[in-house]
């Protein structure tokens, strides 16, 4: 990963910037930094595609600071020098922290025109309104804005926000910006910025939509592509791999009913081996909620099952405040662990973040030792981004994807085609040794029974589990690699064992599965609990449930509608009356037809009675039309025409 010393950059970097980099313990540049920084400083637009964890943030932060420092004329209070656009709040906050770290190190004797002004964070969800963003901008006069596209556009269109002197625009994780639907805000944002600027697009993957954005927003950009070159054993050909060289990728196969037990065994093994941080990715927010709540309550009763593990949860449906607090707590956990003695590694705590893809890319979570993909991602491109949360900045890391036995094993070959090679990891036995998966894992079954007892102790866990199961099945049915991840091949009874459910939920997918497996013996004991007596562990919720039951029992049974029989009788009577009217008209038509036939065979002057019949028929037709238009009541029609019958 080393691509030269920082002192070799031309034009040379400022001393105080080199001092900050040295304090971060980055003695050598990464390839993306060595390629991008000189290009930026020589007035080039840059499109950088580099593997995750390759140091892209410093690759644009340092040039921005150098460009603003070297301005001949200082920026005025309300003039912007640089704008950095990020896809998520967390990434924007992280970038802002890095910039502030450099700005705090500026020497006091810096000339006014060479002093870089403050940085302002412009994101939603932090109880800061667009009006507050504008007020802070007017008060502080920042030189650099960092934020998400929507809020950035809101601020740039305000009066007095001057962009005519802007030097640099950077779009970090640019492909993610487009994936999240920010195309229109980005186009609007570009309209507020001068065309004579330096622009940088940084991403781990290049997409067609990103190529279109390059054509719209950049002028003759230089493309920087940093990949890992690997040579297979016994092969003369080299392959480009979109993974850090220090990342070891594994896959682990087990039957569905043993998957959760295997996750806990993997984490306990990692804790024993000295790992301090782990990230576990799930497919849905409901799964994260359920597994976190289940393990948290289970640990209180059975601490041995999760010995040495501490859990956090993070997903997109949490409040911004909670997501921020979780992110900070996990990021700063075990900050000094790397410098401590490893003699007590067997008793060391491993902090585990249970999350969705909200933490899959862009975030720099320090010192993550292992990433476990409990559920393979729906979008295959996300696979490498998840793995990239470990093995960052040259550190060694491990990534493990858990697969169900059977068709899902084809995912390994699929990733091989995508230039992501995986090595197998054998089944972990209850003794935490490696071996073959037993025909019946008694320890996993015991854990399942224990978890189900924990679920029985709290109705809230039961409800969370049902939601998690439903959300997983729905997500599985929509997997992009659906020729591998086929819902029809997924044994839902064994999956219910994995979720420690008490019974299978009522949903179309389960009904179809029951039809296909009607006579098959099931591993799952589908025992529906009595919902009238199933209590919440939380006393407030239980009191609300009991009160609702009491109101339901005290309410009188709904009486049958008094008008229902009358309405039914009225509808039947109306139908009968219409049938009789049709019969009368049919008889009159028949008489008219016979009369016309008689007139044709023996022509004669029309008698007064015949003329009367003709007039009666015409009158009846007119009356029927009036009745259909609502101008004549059915009773009046009956009185006039039925009396003649």
**Same domain assignment for residues 267 and 376:** yes
Nearest to 75 by CA among 37, 117, 106, 33: 117
Give the three-class secondary structure for 164: coil
User: Average pLDDT, stretch 560-566?
Assistant: 55
Number of structural domains, the chain?
Answer: 3
In contact, 313 and 295? CB cutoff 8 Å: no
Please report whether residue 448 resides in a domain: yes
On whether both 43 and 87 belong to a single domain, the answer is: yes
Same domain, 210 and 324: no
- The reported pLDDT for the residue numbered 634 is 67
* Distance from C-alpha of 228 to C-alpha of 246, rounded to nearest angstrom: 10
Is 636 among the domain residues?
Answer: yes
Does any domain span residue 634?
Answer: yes
- Asked whether residue 291 falls in the same domain as residue 148, the answer is no
Tell me whether residue 490 is in a domain: no
Per-residue pLDDT for 339 more than 90? no
166: phi > 0 → left, psi -120 to 50 → alpha, else beta; which? beta
User: Which of 486, 235, 512, 475 lies closest to 379 in space, CA to CA?
Assistant: 475
Q: Averaged over 464-487, what is the pLDDT?
A: 94
> Can you give the C-alpha Rg of the chain in angstroms?
36
Alpha-carbon torsion 322, 324, 327, 330, what sign? negative
User: Of 413, 441, 457, which closes a domain?
Assistant: 457
User: What tens digit of pLDDT does each residue of 397-451 get?
Assistant: 999 999 999 999 999 999 998 888 999 999 999 999 999 999 999 999 999 999 9
Question: Which of 430, 442, 393, 507 lies closest to 30, judged by CA?
Answer: 393
Ranking 261-265, 440-444, 633-637 by mean pLDDT, the lowest is 633-637
Element (H, E) at 405: none
pLDDT, residue 246, reads 83
* Angle (nearest 5°) at CA 535 between 532 and 539: 135
Q: Are 222 and 47 in contact (CB under 8 A)?
A: yes
Domain boundary among 440, 457, 474: 457
For residue 577, pLDDT over 50 is answered with yes
Place of tokens 């239980």: 542
State the DSSP H helix or E strand holding residue 259, giving kind and residue range, or none if neither.
helix 259-272
Whether residues 102 and 204 share a domain: the answer is yes
Among the candidates 457, 489, 512, a domain finishes at: 457
Q: Based on the fold, state whether residues 251 and 219 are members of the same structural domain.
A: no
Position 279 pLDDT exceeds 80:
yes
For residues 297 and 243, the model is more confident at 297
Q: Are residues 216 and 250 in the same domain?
A: no
Same-domain check for residues 95 and 172: yes
pLDDT reported for residue 368: 92
| CA 402 and chain centroid, separation | 19
Give yes or no for a contact between 217 and 178, defined as CB atoms under 8 angstroms apart: no
Residues 283 and 385 in one domain: yes
In the structure, what pLDDT confidence band is assigned to residue 569 with cuts at 50, 70 and 90? low
Q: What pLDDT, on the 0 to 100 scale, is given for residue 497?
A: 96
Check residue 214 and give its pLDDT.
Answer: 75
Domain match, 258 and 216 both: no
Q: Are 387 and 243 in contact (CB under 8 A)?
A: yes
pLDDT number for residue 284: 95
- Give the model's confidence band at 235: pLDDT under 50 very low, under 70 low, under 90 confident, else very high: very low
pLDDT value of residue 336: 47
Print the domain residue range for 643. Answer: 616-645
Question: pTM for the whole thing?
Answer: 0.72
Phi, psi of 523 (to 5 degrees): -75, -20
540 assigned to some structural domain: no
Q: Are 84 and 170 in contact (CB under 8 A)?
A: yes
Q: What is the mean pLDDT of residues 28-45?
A: 91
Candidates 404, 406, 377, 405; CA nearest to 389 is 377
pLDDT band at residue 579 under the 50/70/90 scheme: confident
Structure tokens at 154: 């809101």
Q: Are residues 280 and 189 in the same domain?
A: no
Q: What angle do CA 286, 289, 291 make, to 5 degrees?
A: 105
**Tokens 């013996």 label which residue?**
521
Query: Is residue 84 scored above 80 in pLDDT?
Result: yes
Whether the predicted pLDDT of 259 surpasses 60: yes
Is residue 627 packed enough to be buried (19+ CB in 10 Å), middle (13-18) or exposed (0-12)? Answer: middle
Whether residue 403 is contained in a domain is answered as yes
Q: Does one domain contain both 40 and 177? A: yes
Whether residue 462 has pLDDT greater than 90: yes
Rounded-to-integer distance, Cα 51 and Cα 364, Å: 13
Report the chain's mean pLDDT, rounded to a whole number. Answer: 84
Q: How many CB atoms lie within 10 A of CB 306?
A: 18
CATH number for the domain harbouring residue 361: 3.40.50.300
What is d(CA 376, CA 476) in angstroms, rounded to the nearest whole number?
A: 10
Flag whether 339 is in a domain.
no
How confident is the model over 296-315, as pLDDT tens digits?
999 999 999 998 999 999 99
What does the alpha-carbon distance between residue 76 and residue 340 come to, in Å, rounded to a whole number?
Answer: 48
Element (H, E) at 310: strand 309-314
Structure tokens at 62: 């340092």
Q: Give dist(CA 390, CA 397) in Å, integer.
A: 5
Instruction: Give me the percent of the chain exceeding a pLDDT of 70.
Output: 84
Residue 232: pLDDT over 60: no
Residue 325 to residue 272: CA distance in whole angstroms: 27
**pLDDT recorded at residue 338:** 44
Q: Which range has the top average pLDDT, 5-9, 342-346, 347-351, 565-569?
A: 5-9
Q: Highest mean pLDDT range out of 116-125, 244-253, 290-299, 324-333?
A: 290-299
Is the predicted pLDDT of residue 142 greater than 90, yes or no?
Answer: yes
Classify residue 595: in a domain, yes or no. Answer: no
């Amino acid at each position: 990963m080393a691509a030269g010393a920082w002192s070799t950059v031309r034009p040379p970097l400022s001393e105080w910037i080199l001092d900050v980099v040295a304090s971060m313990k980055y003695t050598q540049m990464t390839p993306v930094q060595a390629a991008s920084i000189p290009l930026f400083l020589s007035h080039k637009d840059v499109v950088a595609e580099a593997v995750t964890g390759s140091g892209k943030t410093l690759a644009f932060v340092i040039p921005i600071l150098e460009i603003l420092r070297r301005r001949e004329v200082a920026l005025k209070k309300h003039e912007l020098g640089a704008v950095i656009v990020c896809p998520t709040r967390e990434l924007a906050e992280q970038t802002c922290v890095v910039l502030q770290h450099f700005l705090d190190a500026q020497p006091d004797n810096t000339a006014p025109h060479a002093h870089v002004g403050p940085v302002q964070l412009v994101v939603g969800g932090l109880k800061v309104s667009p009006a507050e963003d504008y007020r802070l901008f007017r008060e502080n006069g920042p030189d650099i804005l960092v934020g998400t596209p929507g809020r950035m556009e809101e601020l740039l269109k305000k009066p007095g926000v001057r962009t005519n002197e802007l030097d640099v625009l950077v779009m970090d994780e640019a492909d993610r910006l487009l994936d999240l639907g920010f195309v229109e805000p980005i186009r609007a944002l570009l309209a507020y910025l001068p065309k004579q600027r330096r622009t940088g697009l940084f991403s781990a993957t290049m997409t067609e939509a990103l190529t279109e954005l390059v054509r719209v927003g950049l002028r003759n950009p230089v493309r920087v592509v940093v990949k890992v070159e690997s040579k297979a054993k016994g092969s003369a050909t080299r392959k480009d791999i979109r993974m850090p060289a220090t990342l070891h990728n594994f896959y682990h196969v087990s039957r569905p009913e043993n998957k959760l037990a295997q996750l806990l065994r993997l984490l306990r093994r990692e804790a024993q081996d000295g790992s301090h941080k782990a990230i576990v990715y799930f497919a849905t927010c409901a799964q994260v909620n359920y597994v976190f709540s289940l393990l948290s309550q289970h640990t209180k009763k059975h601490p041995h099952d999760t010995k040495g593990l501490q859990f956090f949860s993070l997903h997109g449906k949490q409040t911004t405040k909670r997501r921020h607090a979780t992110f900070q707590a996990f990021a700063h956990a075990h900050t000094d662990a790397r410098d401590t003695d490893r003699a007590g590694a067997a008793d060391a705590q491993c902090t585990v973040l249970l999350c969705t893809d909200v933490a899959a890319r862009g975030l720099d979570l320090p010192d993550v030792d292992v990433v476990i993909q409990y559920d393979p991602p729906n979008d295959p491109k996300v696979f490498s981004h998840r793995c990239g949360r470990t093995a960052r900045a040259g550190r060694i890391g491990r990534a493990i994807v858990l697969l169900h036995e059977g068709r899902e094993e084809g995912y390994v070959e699929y990733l091989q085609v995508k230039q992501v090679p995986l090595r197998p990891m054998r089944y972990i036995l209850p003794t935490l040794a490696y071996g073959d998966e037993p025909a019946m894992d008694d320890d996993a079954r015991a854990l399942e029974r224990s978890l189900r007892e924990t679920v029985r102790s709290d109705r809230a866990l039961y409800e969370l589990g049902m939601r998690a199961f439903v959300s997983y099945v729905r997500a599985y049915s929509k997997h992009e690699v659906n020729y591998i991840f086929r819902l029809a091949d997924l044994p839902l009874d064994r999956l219910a064992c994995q979720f420690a459910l008490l019974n299978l939920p009522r949903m179309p997918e389960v009904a179809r599965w029951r039809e296909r497996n009607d006579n098959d013996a099931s591993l799952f004991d589908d025992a529906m609990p009595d919902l009238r007596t199933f209590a919440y562990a939380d006393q407030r919720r239980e009191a609300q449930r009991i009160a609702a039951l009491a109101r339901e029992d005290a309410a009188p049974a709904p009486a049958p509608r008094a008008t229902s029989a009358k309405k039914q009788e009225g509808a039947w009577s109306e139908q009968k009356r219409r049938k009789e009217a049709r019969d009368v008209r049919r008889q009159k038509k028949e008489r008219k037809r016979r009369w016309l036939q008689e007139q044709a065979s023996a022509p004669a002057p029309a008698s007064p009675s015949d003329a009367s019949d003709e007039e009666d028929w015409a009158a009846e037709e007119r009356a029927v039309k009036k009745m259909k238009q609502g101008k004549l009541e059915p009773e009046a029609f009956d009185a006039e025409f039925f009396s003649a019958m």
